[in-house]
């Protein structure tokens, strides 16, 4: 009896020792790998993804999608989440690391529902409106839309031509915001009848979807429009100048005008917001495309582009994507001096002279990157009856900031 008990105990003890040593070796084998992954991956995540707050997108290297990285998922996720909160407050554009692989895999998923439509937008005027102003916006930017409505984006007659306006929106990327904004955006749409909302996430890299969906919408619901201006909500647009320019053109002919960028090279620096790997775009030069501030097109070109873009593969940079559509219909976009994609405001050089001199804006069509208050103030200054800009000398190229001498010359008409 005693012997048997002893034997059992020894047996159990032996088994325990074997089990423990097995466990020990398992752990010893696992732990260093985990640590290695951690120490190797951590710096690369921080440096690639978040070191530059303006360019937080990151290429997902092929290895990053491999399952062995799952060793420390919790830590990584939390770290990424923490960093993301920081960057979102710095830059509204920075959402998440951009996953090129995922983008390529989902590229064919390019038809999304229209959640809010304005089907009668272009039926109010017999013969159709002269100009449709289409503005890219995000649901959260109510104040920007409001300022545009009250300034350059006004509907109605301008210089005798009928103007209509729509805002182009996707669903907010922050789903908590969506819950409250859904009712608000419907209210806003009821009130102004200028909201177009599609069922795709409103991210920087989905702007191409916005482009495609807007062109399709215009071809279907606004085919009788004569011209379209499509732009951002942070621009100042001199609508009078645009009308003046467009009245000299034929809406049944091709027209595509803007701040055209020629021979731009794809950015191969991974840290950049505009980084494009060779696998996504192999050529060394992009087709000519219009810079983001805004561009004009005729009704004829709108219909052609809407068809052409359906045949072009999705590309994450919307401006370049439209350039590819233009290339497909063999249409050469026209560069116009009046479009200033990157703004004319140089804070370092005599800001008191430049920023709020309405005479600067008088000869321009589109100026990019303005704050809400600046748009409001500029529009009001430009429409003030007391504004007089002596234009005895028409300067041919008025806005070249390379030479200091021209700065002072430009400031003189104000007085």
Ligand X SMILES: *[C@@H]1O[C@H](CO)[C@@H](O)[C@H](O)[C@H]1NC(C)=O
Residues that bind ligand X (CB under 6 A): 88, 103, 174, 176-177, 200-201, 203, 205-206
What tokens appear for 328 in the block? Answer: 């497909």
Whether 181 and 141 have beta carbons less than 8 Å apart is answered as no
Closest distance to ligand X from the beta carbon of 171 (Å): 7
Closest distance to ligand X from the beta carbon of 62 (Å): 18
Question: Of 121 and 144, which has the nearer Cβ to ligand X?
Answer: 144
Question: Of 174 and 407, which has the nearer Cβ to ligand X?
Answer: 174
Question: Quick one: how far is CA 394 from the chain centroid?
Answer: 35
Closest distance to ligand X from the beta carbon of 127 (Å): 37
Which DSSP helix (H) or strand (E) runs through 66? Answer: none
Closest distance to ligand X from the beta carbon of 211 (Å): 13
Residue spans of alpha helices (H) in 91-173: 100-105, 142-150
Closest distance to ligand X from the beta carbon of 300 (Å): 30
Quick one: which of 291, 283, 306 has its CA closest to 223? 306
Q: How many CB atoms lie within 10 A of CB 56?
A: 25
End-to-end CA distance of the chain: 115
Question: Of 80 and 219, which has the nearer Cβ to ligand X?
Answer: 80
Question: Of 161 and 211, which has the nearer Cβ to ligand X?
Answer: 211
CA 103 to CA 206: how far, in whole Å? 10
Question: Of 83 and 328, which has the nearer Cβ to ligand X?
Answer: 83
What tokens appear for 57 in the block? Answer: 């997108």
Burial of 246 (0-12, 13-18, 19+ CB in 10 A): buried
Q: How many CB atoms lie within 10 A of CB 359?
A: 20
Closest distance to ligand X from the beta carbon of 89 (Å): 9
SS3 88: helix
CA 320 to CA 291: how far, in whole Å? 9
Sign of the CA dihedral running 151, 154, 157, 162? positive
Closest distance to ligand X from the beta carbon of 93 (Å): 11
Question: Of 213 and 226, which has the nearer Cβ to ligand X?
Answer: 213
Question: Quick one: how far is CA 33 from the chain centroid?
Answer: 40
Question: Of 94 and 341, which has the nearer Cβ to ligand X?
Answer: 94
Closest distance to ligand X from the beta carbon of 342 (Å): 25
Question: Of 176 and 348, which has the nearer Cβ to ligand X?
Answer: 176
What tokens appear for 42 in the block? Answer: 């951590």
DSSP conformational letter for 249: S
Question: Of 72 and 174, which has the nearer Cβ to ligand X?
Answer: 174
Question: Quick one: how far is CA 236 from the chain centroid?
Answer: 17
The radius of gyration of the chain's CA atoms, rounded to the nearest angstrom, is 28
Closest distance to ligand X from the beta carbon of 321 (Å): 13
What's the angle, vertex CA 243, arms to CA 238 and CA 246, rounded to 5? 125
CA 45 to CA 259: how far, in whole Å? 36
CA 233 to CA 134: how far, in whole Å? 9
Closest distance to ligand X from the beta carbon of 98 (Å): 7
CA 129 to CA 145: how far, in whole Å? 21
Question: Of 125 and 203, which has the nearer Cβ to ligand X?
Answer: 203
């Amino acid at each position: 009896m005693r012997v048997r008990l002893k034997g059992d105990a020894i047996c159990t003890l032996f088994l325990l020792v074997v089990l423990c040593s097995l466990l020990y070796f398992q752990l010893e084998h696992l732990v260093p790998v985990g640590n290695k992954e951690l120490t190797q991956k951590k710096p690369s995540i921080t440096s690639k993804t978040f070191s530059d707050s303006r360019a937080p997108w990151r290429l997902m290297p092929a290895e990053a999608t491999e399952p062995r990285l799952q060793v420390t998922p919790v830590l990584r996720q939390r770290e990424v989440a923490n960093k993301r909160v920081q960057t979102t407050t710095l830059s509204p554009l920075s959402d998440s690391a951009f996953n090129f692989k995922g983008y390529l895999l989902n590229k064919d998923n390019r038809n999304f529902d229209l959640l809010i439509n304005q089907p009668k937008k272009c039926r109010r005027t017999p013969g159709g409106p002269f100009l449709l102003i289409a503005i890219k916006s995000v649901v959260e930017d109510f104040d920007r839309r409001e300022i545009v409505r009250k300034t350059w984006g006004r509907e109605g007659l301008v210089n005798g031509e009928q103007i209509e306006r729509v805002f182009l929106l996707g669903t907010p990327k922050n789903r908590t915001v969506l819950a409250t904004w859904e009712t608000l955006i419907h209210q806003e749409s009821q009130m102004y009848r200028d909201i177009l909302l599609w069922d795709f996430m409103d991210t920087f890299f989905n702007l191409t979807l916005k482009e495609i969906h807007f062109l399709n919408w215009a071809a279907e619901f606004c085919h009788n429009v004569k011209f379209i201006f499509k732009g951002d909500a942070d621009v100042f647009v001199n609508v009078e100048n645009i009308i003046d320019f467009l009245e000299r053109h034929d809406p049944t002919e091709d027209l595509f005008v803007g701040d055209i960028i020629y021979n731009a090279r794809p950015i191969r620096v991974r840290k950049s917001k505009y980084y494009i790997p060779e696998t996504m775009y192999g050529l060394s030069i992009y087709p000519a495309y219009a810079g983001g501030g805004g561009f004009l097109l005729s009704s004829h070109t709108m219909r052609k582009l809407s068809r052409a873009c359906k045949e072009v593969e999705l590309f994450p940079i919307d401006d370049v994507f439209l350039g590819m559509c233009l290339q497909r219909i063999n249409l050469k976009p026209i560069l116009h001096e009046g479009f200033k994609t990157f703004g004319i405001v140089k804070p370092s050089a005599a800001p008191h002279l430049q920023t709020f001199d309405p005479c600067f804006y008088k000869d321009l069509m589109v100026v990019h990157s303005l704050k809400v208050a600046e748009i409001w103030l500029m529009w009001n200054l430009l429409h003030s009856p007391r504004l007089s800009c002596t234009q005895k000398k028409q300067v041919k190229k008025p806005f070249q900031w390379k030479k200091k001498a021209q700065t002072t010359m430009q400031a003189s008409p104000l007085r």
